[in-house]
Amino acid sequence: MLTFIGLGLYDEKDVSLEGLEAIRSADKVYLECYTSLLTGTNIKQLEKLYCKKVHLLEREDVETDNWWLKDAIDQSIVFLTGGDAMVSTTHIDLRLRAKKLGIGTRIIHGASIISAVCGLSGLQNYRFGKSATIPHPYTRKEKIIRSHTPYDTIEINQKNNLHTLIFLDIDKNIGCMSIKEGIELLLQVEEEMGGEAISNCIGVGIARAGSFAPVVKADYLENLKHTDFGEPLHILCITANLHFIEAEALIAFADAPGSILNRHNDSLRQD
């Protein structure tokens, strides 16, 4: 049996009671940290609470290798990840591979950043379009390559008046991308493409969701990129036209400029 357990958003205490029971009764416990991180804890603290040895899996172990997965054929194996257990497509693929090996699977869900963003900011969940991830740029033939996919996603969502949730890259060598870095990359891509999808957009940045004191800030992107959000993890949302309740929530909970209410009224007149 392979049990997928989402650990929640921030530290070892975010795990559900059901998840904790499953961890403590497992034969082996594995953890991956490349799709998400619990920045408020570490493996030693996890092991102390869980009373279990936690084995760290590398990206290739999860995506291509089955050496550890085969243990679940005749043992109780737990697979841990930050956030919810099945938000990442990588984990869905892993579950499919387990089924092909004749391994039964179970899912114990955890708190997800996807719903936390709505709760912390006041943005309405049904107004989000397709999400995207901004990867770190890389150099090829002495040229810096920046992915255009996140920008293209934002542009499509803007045309449909939908918000865009932007995940920021986690790289074990480079580190966690910040909101400032993410915005700068988007603006650089916009300049490369000669576009205008985000030039006047309001962004919402959130840092350390799930902690006692998360940072939530909304502003026009050119201003938001100068905000110090502190330690990771960070996530970014690019908003479409705001419902007046969303605008009021961003002013109240994310220190947004009051001018966004005027922007809401202008969009109503244009409609």
CA gap 110, 118 in Å, rounded: 16
End of a domain among 71, 95, 111?
Answer: 111
Residue 265 has pLDDT above 70, yes or no: no
Based on the fold, state whether residues 79 and 47 are members of the same structural domain: yes
The predicted-structure confidence for 57-91, as pLDDT tens digits, reads as follows 999 999 988 899 999 999 999 999 999 999 888 99
Domain that holds residue 207: 114-270
Based on the fold, state whether residues 29 and 15 are members of the same structural domain: yes
Based on the fold, state whether residues 36 and 124 are members of the same structural domain: no
Q: What is the pLDDT of residue 143?
A: 84
Q: Report DSSP state, residue 8.
A: B
Helix axes 113-121, 244-253, angle to 10 degrees: 90
Residue 269 has pLDDT above 60, yes or no: no
CA gap 151, 193 in Å, rounded: 10
Based on the fold, state whether residues 254 and 137 are members of the same structural domain: yes
Based on the fold, state whether residues 21 and 155 are members of the same structural domain: no
Mean pLDDT, the chain, whole residue set: 93
Based on the fold, state whether residues 11 and 85 are members of the same structural domain: yes
Residue 270 has pLDDT above 60, yes or no: no
The predicted-structure confidence for 6-20, as pLDDT tens digits, reads as follows 999 999 999 999 999
Closest to 40 in 3D by CA, of 15, 75, 68: 15
> What's the whole-number mean pLDDT along residues 185-197?
91
CATH, residue 62: 3.40.1010.10
> What's the whole-number mean pLDDT along residues 187-197?
90
Based on the fold, state whether residues 201 and 123 are members of the same structural domain: yes
CA gap 213, 200 in Å, rounded: 29
For residues 242 and 263, the answer to whether their CB atoms sit within 8 Å is: yes
Please give the model's pTM, rounded to 2 decimal places. Answer: 0.91
Instruction: Give me the number of domains the chain comprises.
Output: 2
CA gap 1, 10 in Å, rounded: 27
Of the listed ranges 32-36, 52-56, 126-130, the least confidently predicted one is: 32-36
Based on the fold, state whether residues 129 and 225 are members of the same structural domain: yes
Residue 266 has pLDDT above 70, yes or no: no
End of a domain among 111, 131, 166?
Answer: 111
Based on the fold, state whether residues 107 and 118 are members of the same structural domain: no
CATH, residue 260: 3.30.950.10
In the chain, the percentage of residues whose pLDDT exceeds 90 is 85
Based on the fold, state whether residues 107 and 126 are members of the same structural domain: no
Based on the fold, state whether residues 127 and 94 are members of the same structural domain: no
In the chain, the percentage of residues whose pLDDT exceeds 70 is 97
For residues 263 and 240, the answer to whether their CB atoms sit within 8 Å is: no
The predicted-structure confidence for 135-183, as pLDDT tens digits, reads as follows 999 888 778 889 999 999 999 999 999 999 999 999 988 999 999 999 9
The predicted-structure confidence for 29-52, as pLDDT tens digits, reads as follows 999 999 999 999 999 999 999 999
Closest to 7 in 3D by CA, of 97, 70, 76, 91: 91
End of a domain among 111, 134, 156?
Answer: 111
Based on the fold, state whether residues 64 and 153 are members of the same structural domain: no
